[in-house]
Structure 1
Amino acid sequence: MLLPFRQEDWPGEEVLRDGGGMADDSAAEVLPSGGSPFSDGYVGDPAVRDEWDNRYSERRQLWSGQPNGALVAEVSGLAPGRVLDVGCGEGADAIWLARAGWDVTALEVSGVALARAAAHARDAGVAVRWVHAGLTEAALPAASFDLVSAQYPALLRTPGSAAEHALLGAVAPGGVLLLVHHAGMDRRHAGQDDAFDPADYVWPSMVAALLGDDWRIEVDEERPRVAPEGGAGAHHTDDVVLRARRLR
């Protein structure tokens, strides 16, 4: 069942809850694969929202529908808690995390993607908080997530490294920050791919450079990618993985 956000919820948030196994027909009607019930609550840059809405609207399904392999590998040994999935797309990671017992908040700029994600979560019978916002505009509670995950080009760079600081600020003491990116893309030049300029996005190395004594880097490496079959990005073969723990 899709419930509108309450006053105490964050801007742009809607919550999908398991209705005890009973389907909510009204929710199904407002969550078509190409439509979006999230448009009115968006908080962020409209141009960024529109760009990603257009990308998702070009295909009925953009991603594979399977959780990212690096996420599964790095998170499987962690005790479930509260998690923020930044740039959740069509919801595969968020749904996997919810099934594993995590309390999931999933953030995405595209309302088209969120509509699909919410429908998939409803079909899976899991509860996820959906936040239709940019990370720096979302006003998420500080230092409150046991895991913050950003998989692949999920976060645009901002003046003063505001995006990087927002990522770090969301992690609770003792919590983990997990960033995964396609290896080598930061060494490409603008113009090689008209639809993607690597310089526009936050890379793990940019975040690692901001970590102080209150963080411990647990993983910082390039390794072969465990890639799900199908979906955009399936041709990438290697990952850059940064996992850091906030000590206090």
Structure 2
Amino acid sequence: MTDGTTSATGAGPEAEFWDARYAGSDRVWSGNPNNVLVSEVGGLKPGTALDLGCGEGADAVWLARQGWRVTAVDISRVALERAAGHAKAEGIAEGLIDWQRHDLGETFPEGTYDLVSAQFLHSPNDMPRERILRAAAAAVAPGGVLLVVGHAGFPAWETDPHPEMHFPTPDEVLESLGLPDGEWEVVLTDEHERIQNDPDGRPTTRVDNTLEIRRLAP
């Protein structure tokens, strides 16, 4: 791929869906890092980080600025090229972020990381989210953190929600990980409200949730 990104997956229906989503506008997301990532990671010692579903790269850029060496993953070639351009425009040194294209249901980045972040890793399509998050937990190094932030439900303006799409609670996410006893500690389980503009630019309240867990060092 261009702009320093690499690919480990072909373009299937899920990739085509997200490529079309990103190609449909100049910017899909705000360009700012996710608030929970900033609040929970800001006090951690920088190391290696894996950003799953990095989108247009705002979280990866923020992490690199804090001193993290980031592997940033998305299924969309369009999103990754836009993210790499964002990093370049922000003056992030080449090599601090490794942009990788993966369909996480098929391939997963190699290695272990001090931080694995999955921010709003949802899809209206058939994405094996539980299996992906189990792989995410397996990629956390001893002493490292897994941070999972998700929506608690559809936004108020959604007129045609997908009835088959389930938004799990933090406790449901934790249970689905199937973690062995005595090897992890729960740092945070939380449900919180935030303000998000609707498609017409009007502010509305959205409910999200967070699970943060740490793998205990041996």
Out of 214, 217, 225, the residue aligned to residue 194 of structure 2 is 225
What is the percent sequence identity of the aligned residues?
A: 40
In structure 2, the residue matched to 1:6 is none
Q: CA deviation at 1:165?
A: 1.7
What's the CA shift for 1:158?
A: 2.3
> Which residue of structure 2 aligns with residue 67 of structure 1?
33
Aligned partner letter, 1:193:
P
Tell me which residue corresponds to 1:129: 98
Check if 1:80 corresponds to 2:46: yes
Amino acid at match of 1:2: D
Q: What is the CA distance between 1:226 and its match in structure 2?
A: 6.9
Q: TM-score, normalised on structure 1?
A: 0.72
- Partner residue, 1:158: 128
Q: 1:219 to 1:140 in 2, by over 3 A?
A: same
Aligned residues: 206
SS in 2 for 1:80: coil
Instruction: Give the alignment partner of residue 110 of structure 2, picking from 133, 141, 160.
Output: 141
CA distance in 1, matches of 2:180, 2:172: 13
Report if the CA contact (8 A) 2:105-2:127 is conserved.
no
Could you list the runs of 5+ residues in structure 2 that have no partner in the other structure? none
Pairing partner for 1:198 from 132, 157, 165: 165
Any conservation in 2 of the 1:69–1:228 contact (CA below 8 Å)? no
3-state secondary structure, aligned to 2:135: helix
Q: Return the offset for 1:242.
A: 0.5
Look up the SS of the partner of 1:212 in the other structure: coil
Q: Is the 8 A contact 2:102 2:108 kept in 1?
A: no
SS at match of 2:149: strand
How big is the shift at 1:183? 2.2
Report 1 or 2 for greater relative contact order, CA contacts < 8 Å, sequence distance ≥ 6.
Answer: 1
- Does residue 173 (structure 1) correspond to residue 142 (structure 2)? The answer is yes
Inter-CA distance 105–243: structure 2 relative to 1 (3 Å threshold) = same
Q: Is the 8 A contact 2:193 2:205 kept in 1?
A: no
Structure with greater proportional helix content: 1
* Cα 1:152/1:95, change in 2 over 3 Å: same
TM-score by length of structure 2 reads: 0.81
1:227: Cα distance to partner?
6.0
Amino acid paired to 1:71 = L
Task: Go from structure 1 to structure 2 and tell me whether the alpha carbon gap of 1:94 and 1:235 turns closer, same or farther (over 3 Å shift).
Answer: farther
Deviation track 1:55-78 (CA, whole Å, cap 9, x = no partner) reads 111111000000011110111111
Look up the SS of the partner of 2:14 in the other structure.
helix
5+ unaligned residues in a row in structure 1: which ranges? 4-12, 15-40
Residue 115 of structure 1 corresponds to 81
Corresponding residue number in structure 2 for 1:24 = none
Give CA deviations for 1:172-205 in whole Å, capped at 9, x if unaligned: 111000011122349x9x98325x8523x77644
Counterpart in the other structure of 1:2? 3
Q: Distance in 2 between matches of 1:120 and 1:69?
A: 19
